[in-house]
Amino acid sequence: MPSRVLVSACLLGAEVRHHGGAATVEHPILRRWRDECRIVGTCPEMAGGLPSPRPPSEIRGLRVVTSGGLDVTPEFEAGAATAVRIARELGIRVAVLKSRSPSCGTGRIYDGTFSGRFVDGDGVTAAALRREGVQVFDETQLEEADVALCRT
């Protein structure tokens, strides 16, 4: 069986984002991965028990809060734990996650003020996967992810 890759479900067309929509990415690499049966789709927020649509959330300090101030850290942590479990069970070493998300963002995330500004950092799931040794990329880094996948 070829090496698998964990991909944010919203990038695959699933309407699971906070506003109830998708962030579908059409790219030859994703099409090839689909044809090769490599993709394992996941939405950590939904896996953690959050609905879609839902209020937007951002990381503020060590917590994840909604725009209305509700602490949803436990749901984000549960979703991250599910993603890590999937990666372990399937031997996944590469993930492509949705940029800027408080769960999936890799390298840059919203700053926690709901002002549209960014800070350096990872979302809850991206950080958990990195700690597990998974190489994490976002949807703008499909070529790099493909190279990493070929090395696994």
Q: Where residue 152 falls among pLDDT bands split at 50, 70, 90?
A: confident
pLDDT of residue 109: 97
9, 37, 75, 86, 150 from 104: Cα distances, Å? 11, 22, 13, 15, 22
Taking the C-alpha atoms of residue 87 and residue 133, their distance in angstroms, rounded to an integer, is 10
Q: Is 71 helix (H, G, I), strand (E, B) or coil?
A: strand
What value does the CA radius of gyration of the chain take, rounded to a whole number of Å? 14
Mean pLDDT within 85-106: 97
Question: d(Cα 27, Cα 120) in Å, to the nearest integer?
Answer: 26
Give the pLDDT confidence score for residue 141 in this predicted structure: 98
Give the β-pairing of 118-120 and 108-110. Answer: antiparallel
Question: Model confidence at 14, in pLDDT bands (50, 70, 90)?
Answer: very high
Global confidence as pTM: 0.95
Percent of the chain clearing pLDDT 70 (strictly above) = 100
The predicted-structure confidence for 40-91, as pLDDT tens digits, reads as follows 999 999 999 999 999 999 999 999 999 999 999 999 999 999 999 999 999 9
